[in-house]
Amino acid sequence: MRVALVTGAGSGIGRAVARALAREGWTLALLGRREAALRETLPDALALPADVTDEAQVDAAFATLRRHFGRLDLLFNNAGIAAPPVAVDELTVAQWRAVVDTNLTGSFLCARAAFALMKAQSPRGGRIINNGSISAHAPRPFSAPYTSTKHAITGLTKSLSLDGRAHDIACGQIDIGNAATEMAAPMQQGVRQANGQIAVEPTMDVEDVARAVVYMASLPLSANVQSMTVMARDMPFVGRG
């Protein structure tokens, strides 16, 4: 039995990845704030209603997972939010903290709990895949909180990758650009570009992301995709403009 835990599994990328892993024979646990949405994703999966920003809730969810399955082979650290796209001087501290608490601290709390379980289980080891973003490489206008956290996720990924070696724990990062989910819906209406213009951007099927994560998860623990970028081919990321 291969056990995977997907955070933010009630919608979007998390839902698509959870379903793709289940089709490949993984046993799934789903973590998110809305239990009904988790059960809609996969009715037969272990639903773990929890807020990733809350240490006690995260630890309780992992304790429940351990009681049910006894081990964890894969964590897809996916839960994330963005702040309103406003100038940094118009951003409230509460908006900043909400993004940092979810995207960075939430990823840390889940990775910490997964790391401890993977170290102690027999056979030991496992894989952590962190959901970064192409914002981990270049920002959009008015995206300081989101971009800052995604740069920080890269540091977390590299640190976990290094520290995990002694315990057969692999850690990699997938940086996604314009997957067609609710979060990316504004891309199809027009979003601000670096030159100030508003332009519609191409998107890609979220199933393309799911297949990429399934590939990363399929490798033996002796191999690792340290970093992968999967994006809509024609989006304005590579090149000028």
Query: CB-based contacts of 129: which residues, under 8 Å, 6+ apart?
Result: 74, 75, 76, 77, 171, 172, 173, 174, 213, 216, 217
The length of the chain in residues reads 241
* Alpha helix (H) residue ranges in the chain: 12-23, 35-41, 55-69, 93-99, 106-120, 144-164, 206-218
Integer Cα distance of 237 and 120 in angstroms: 41
DSSP state of 139: P
DSSP β-ladder status, 3-7 and 27-32? parallel
Q: Supply the residues annotated as catalytic.
A: 146
DSSP β-ladder status, 191-192 and 169-177? unpaired
Integer Cα distance of 80 and 77 in angstroms: 9
Instruction: Give the side-chain half-sphere CA count within 13 A for 55.
Output: 2
